[in-house]
Amino acid sequence: MTEIFTPDATFAVHFSGLNEEIRNSQYGALKVKDAIVDSFTRKNLPRPNVDRENPDLRINVWLNKETAHISLDLSGEGLHLRGYP
């Protein structure tokens, strides 16, 4: 994960799905965010910042029972939001 982030990169986590341990999607997103931040601090790297509105990297997590599907959206906002007709 630390190979994708630049020192000033921001990120946001979108979490969907529930199971017996994770009963709230906000809690799930918080745990994913904490794991990402912990991976940086364990390597003595600067902590990445969260930006929910305009992140450089979007992390999508879909939880289905005991399986979490994780995807990284590196493309940014849709073209219609970037000034394209």
CATH topology assigned to domain 10-81: VC0802-like (3.30.2130)
What's the pLDDT score for residue 2?
A: 62
- pTM for this one? 0.80
Sequence-distant (6+) residues with CB within 8 A of 45 are 2, 7
- Please, which contacts does 48-52 make with residues 24 or more away whose CB atoms are closer than 8 Å? 48/5, 48/9, 48/10, 48/11, 49/10, 49/11, 50/10, 50/11, 50/12, 50/13, 51/10, 51/11, 51/12, 52/12
The pLDDT confidence band at residue 77, using thresholds 50, 70 and 90, is: low
Domain boundaries, given as residue ranges, for the chain: 10-81
Q: What is the mean pLDDT of residues 10-29?
A: 94
For 20-73, how does the pLDDT look when each residue is reduced to its tens digit (9 = 90+)?
999 999 999 999 999 999 988 998 988 899 999 989 899 999 999 999 999 998
Give the residue carrying structure tokens 């997590």.
Answer: 61
Number of H helices, E strands in the chain: 1, 4
Helices marked H in 1-85: 25-42
